[in-house]
Amino acid sequence: MPIYSLVLTSPPAAPALSDFAVERAWSLISAPQRRTDQWLAPREAWLAEFATNEDGATAALKAAVRRALNGLTIDVNVVAGDAAARRKKLLVADMDSTIIQQECIDEMADMLGLRTRIAAITERAMRGELDFAAALRERLGLLAGLTEADLAKVYSERITAMPGARALVATMRRHGAFTALVSGGFNFFTSRVRAATGFDVDHSNTLETASGRLTGRIIGPILGREAKLACLERYAAERGLTSAETLAVGDGANDLDMIRAAGLGVAYRAKPVVAAEAAAGIVHGDLTALLYLQGYRRDEFAE
């Protein structure tokens, strides 16, 4: 009979889990289905294993627990696989608004007083309302003339890692996973974020410059949703991994294909179109929640 895990997580900075909350969740799993439960971190993360082959049982349980805990800052997820299968061997992550807290192109736009105009296009593209490549070209055209010094200032003064990003990458790498940062953004930023957060590799778009200034164009094909999926498939194939052994995380529509294809696809503080289709979602917690979804305990984290 297939094994699943009900995982409850809450923000490390303000943990909201209580004995009452986990007892309420446990009570919603029928007694014949229950296996084991454990605290992964006091008041922060709890996991319960259960077995079922009933159609729709996992979705029904997740919905019931969410209703029972409504109003609390707790993320409720159900993931497939027993303890041996939960820990993934490949992580592919989006960068903007996922591994970092900002959208780099919006911060670049702010240097020219164009944040409101460009951020509106970014939001629509991430919601899947605009073609990603066309929206990127339009925004970049407006940013022609920015200097490499401007980009360096954006990175040093405005870009910050998402809480839990370094712990997520370091912990998975310590346990043998390969980690790839894959972005529809720009290599000026992904190369620096990769180094700062510890990813093995990064892939993104290359900005064209002339005399030290942006021309408003990309060199080569634009890295979009198809390329993100291709990276997931490539690194899995190179390592002889099944899709079940992979994890993908992102927030925008251009992340959706890789999120759907991964063994564990996570919508992280995501746009509605992504949250609606991802197998797992994190709204309240930080990126360490992705470790809890894999069954890691807090004392196993690499900080």
Q: Look up 19 and say whether it is catalytic.
A: no
Looking at 19, 75, 82, 96, which residue is catalytic?
Answer: 96
Instruction: Specify burial of residue 84 (Cβ count, 10 A radius: 0-12, 13-18, 19+).
Output: exposed
Q: Look up 286 and say whether it is catalytic.
A: no
H-type alpha helices, 90-224: 104-110, 115-126, 132-142, 148-158, 165-174, 187-197
Of 163, 144, 129, residue with least CA distance to 210 = 144
* CA atoms of 114 and 271, how far apart (whole Å): 23
190: amino acid identity, one letter: T
Of 175, 176, 177, 173, residue with least CA distance to 197 = 173
Spatial strand order in the sheet of 213-219: 213-219, 201-210, 178-186, 90-93, 246-250, 264-268, 280-282
Q: If you write DSSP's letter for every residue of 232-282 in order, what string do you get?
A: HHHHHHHTT--GGGEEEEESSGGGHHHHHHSSEEEEES--HHHHTT-SEEE
Looking at 75, 94, 257, 286, which residue is catalytic?
Answer: 94
Given a contact cutoff of 8 angstroms between Cβ atoms, the answer to whether 106 and 124 are in contact is: no
Of 136, 263, 273, 274, residue with least CA distance to 206 = 136
First-last CA distance in the chain: 36
* CA atoms of 302 and 48, how far apart (whole Å): 23
> Would the CA dihedral through 225, 162, 202, 83 be positive or negative?
negative
For the chain, how many residues are written? 303
* CA atoms of 35 and 27, how far apart (whole Å): 13
Active site residues: 94, 96
